[in-house]
């Protein structure tokens, strides 16, 4: 059994990215820029935004945080997004979620131009992913999962991948990416019957549910590649969706929580911002 070290891979990728960003500056005089919009005073969101901005600095991306008042109207937010959309110096736009209740998040996200949608949540980017278009900006956590597995030498072709969870931000896009890598994919959700009968068939099992230790040792087969995207905070501790101690007895490869999938998410955001800037140089 080998434990996938997400922190290490993330660190390696950030070093590689810093080099690529330096090249972009030298060859094209272009420094990638990410604009993050945060509305209100949610403490967790403020921490996430600070972490993103610190990570940008580390690899040489310019980051700008636009902090809007809790009472910002939809029209005011729309106008800020439109301004960033037409600003040629901005390569990536990220709206920190959740937004205050009076704001329609779907509408706000839909205004971000496809080429600046570094979260990869827009219908256009999801549509491109569905068509296996390499030009898509991919949702960060699913992209991070595939990158982790590739860097640990996983051969996807013909493998049965079971994804537990069908959200727009993790489950569905990771299932599509596994399909793109030639896996045979099964998607499970809260209405799935006999979950363990299906998870036991998985060569690659990805779990993105949000329930502590839903997947136990007797629900997986010997040699499984187990990827746990779950982040469940219980009494100040973080747990995954898989019972690591049990599942790791059977797994060939497994991601821990914390330190597995989690560290990859911001790294893939940095990658998307670089990729968005790089594409502009080809225009
Ligand atoms: P959602 O709540 O949006 O989706 C959860 C999914 O799990 C749904 O599709 C739901 O099914 C399914 N589900 C719920 N209960 C069961 C069950 N008993 N059996 C099978 N499926 C079930 O969550 P997210 O996708 O946003 O997040 C999932 C987890 O990943 C969370 O712990 C979250 O914190 C974490 N996460 C981690 C990230 C990272 O950076 N590492 C980034 C994003 C999320 P149905 O559709 O039927 O309701």
Output the residue whose Cα is nearest ligand 1's atom 3: 167
CA separation (Å) from 13 to 7, 8, 19?
10, 9, 10
Of 5, 91, 119, 228, which one is the catalytic site residue? 119
**pLDDT tens sequence across 163-189:** 999 999 999 999 999 999 999 999 999
pLDDT at 147 over 80: yes
Mean pLDDT of 53-60: 97
Q: What confidence score (pLDDT) does residue 282 get?
A: 79
pLDDT at 283 over 80: no
Fold of 28-115: Rossmann fold (3.40.50)
Domain 28-115 shares a fold with domain 140-262: yes
What does DSSP say about strands 62-68 and 33-39: parallel, antiparallel, or unpaired? parallel
Mean pLDDT of 120-146: 96
CB 258 within 8 A of CB 228: no
pTM over 0.95: yes
Torsional sign, CA 81, 82, 87, 92 = positive
In short, whether 209's Cβ falls inside 6 Å of ligand 1 is yes
Spans of all domains in the chain: 28-115, 140-262
CATH pick for 140-262 out of 3.40.50.1820, 2.60.120.200, 3.40.50.720, 3.40.50.2000: 3.40.50.720
Q: What confidence score (pLDDT) does residue 1 get?
A: 96
Cα–ligand 1 centroid distance for 167 (angstroms): 6
């Amino acid at each position: 059994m080998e434990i996938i070290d997400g922190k290490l891979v993330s660190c390696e990728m950030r070093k590689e990215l810093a080099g690529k960003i330096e090249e972009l500056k030298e060859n094209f005089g272009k420094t990638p820029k990410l604009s993050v919009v945060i509305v209100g005073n949610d403490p967790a969101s403020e921490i996430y935004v600070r972490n993103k901005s610190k990570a940008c600095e580390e690899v040489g991306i310019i980051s700008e945080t636009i902090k809007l008042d809790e009472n910002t109207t939809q029209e005011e937010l729309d106008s800020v997004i439109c301004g960033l959309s037409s600003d040629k110096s901005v390569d990536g736009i990220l709206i920190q979620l959740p937004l205050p209740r009076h704001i329609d998040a779907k509408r706000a996200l839909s205004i971000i131009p496809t080429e600046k949608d570094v979260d990869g949540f827009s219908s256009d980017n999801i549509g491109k992913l569905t068509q296996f278009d390499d030009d898509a900006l991919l949702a960060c956590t699913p992209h991070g999962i595939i990158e982790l597995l590739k860097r640990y030498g996983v051969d996807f072709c013909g493998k049965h991948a079971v994804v537990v969870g069908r959200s727009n931000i993790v489950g569905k896009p990771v299932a599509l990416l596994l399909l793109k890598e030639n896996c045979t994919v099964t998607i499970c959700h809260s209405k799935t019957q006999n979950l363990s009968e299906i998870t036991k068939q998985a060569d690659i099992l990805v779990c993105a549910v949000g329930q502590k230790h839903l997947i136990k040792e007797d629900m997986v087969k010997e040699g499984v590649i187990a990827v746990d995207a779950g982040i469940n905070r219980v009494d100040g501790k973080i747990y995954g969706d898989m019972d690591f101690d049990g599942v790791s007895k059977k797994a060939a490869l497994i991601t821990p929580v914390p330190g597995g999938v989690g560290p990859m998410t911001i790294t893939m955001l940095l990658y998307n911002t670089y990729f968005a800037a790089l594409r502009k140089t080809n225009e």
